[in-house]
Amino acid sequence: MKVADLSVAESRLQLGNAGLGLRMGPFHVRVRTRLPALTRLVRELYRDYPVVDGPLWDFDVRVAPPSLVRRWLRPQVQFYVDGRTPFEPLAAAHHLPILEWGINWCTAARCHHLLMLHAAVVERGGRAMLLPAWPGHGKSTLCAALVHSGWRLLSDEFGLVRPGDGLLLPLARLIALKNASIDIIRRFAPDAHIGPLFQGTRKGTVAHVRPPADSVERAGEPVRPGWLVFPRWVPRAPLRLEPMEKAQAFLMVASNAFNYEVLGETGFRLVDAIVGSCACYTLSYSDLGEAVEALDRMTRPADG
């Protein structure tokens, strides 16, 4: 059963009481909230996630006002995980952003059994392309464009590498777009399902792209890495897609990992294996369509 299979009354009842269990990639997440606006968005944007039962949860999360007093005097919303609050509340209107950022926090803080790379990951033809990038380099925009150009979404935020075999685990969640990138994707991919605008967040104006149903349904299909591309959006710059030295790529991947130092030798071994098995490139661009076309040509089989 998926979220979309629940009636409005059933989803409201589960979210407001025992919680709605969702399978998000390799994780089972229980979500609870009684906020009507957030309940509607869970139904709209999480519609393709499988509904799962407990009793064990990787993340047990809740979004609610921090207190009865603030509910009226200064409306805010708080993220809770296992009954604790890892960060400060936000304005009440930012209920979906705090839920998404909270689940990101849970992943980064609790998943040290995996190597976690700060990268978007997409797949086509059984091979994954990793897009590690610093904030502001256009990673999410490029990821959303690729996902709406024939690539499968593994993740917009986390490259999850399984130590046993070096495969990348899918975690197809909402793609968070910020500021100008929202309208860029609206123009590039008119069929993309983009949720409401959340203005005045700590990252500016934010909107979320619903992952394609096929990407969510294939959560059990890990992928071997094939390409490493370090993207950077540069205003009015010509397209440049150039090979990158593997030694430099190793340093870039290691520095973009959330827990490279924590994993020690395992982290070194996994990064070395990824870089060794991938064709490595840098990409600078200003035109999104040109960038997608260049990556398509680069990754197309020689006989294609």
Determine the average pLDDT of the residues in 88-103: 96
In this predicted structure, the answer to whether residue 303 has a pLDDT above a threshold of 60 is no
Which DSSP string do the residues of 175-228 spell out, in sequence order?
A: EEEETHHHHHHHHH-TT--B---EEEETTEEEEEEPPPHHHHHTTT--BEEEEE
pLDDT of residue 135: 77
**Distance (Å, whole) CA 86 – CA 110:** 13
**Distance (Å, whole) CA 281 – CA 240:** 10
The model's pTM is 0.93
Q: Are 8 and 27 in contact (CB under 8 A)?
A: no
In this predicted structure, the answer to whether residue 232 has a pLDDT above a threshold of 60 is yes
State the DSSP code for 148. Answer: T
**Distance (Å, whole) CA 241 – CA 258:** 26
In this predicted structure, the answer to whether residue 171 has a pLDDT above a threshold of 90 is yes
Residue range 246-286, pLDDT digits in tens: 999 999 999 999 999 999 999 999 999 999 999 999 999 99
- If one counts every other C-beta atom within 10 angstroms of the C-beta of residue 276, the result is 12
In this predicted structure, the answer to whether residue 133 has a pLDDT above a threshold of 90 is no
Mean pLDDT computed over every residue of the chain: 94
pLDDT of residue 71: 59
**Distance (Å, whole) CA 256 – CA 155:** 15
pLDDT of residue 72: 62
**Distance (Å, whole) CA 59 – CA 82:** 8
Neighbouring-strand partners of residue 90: 77
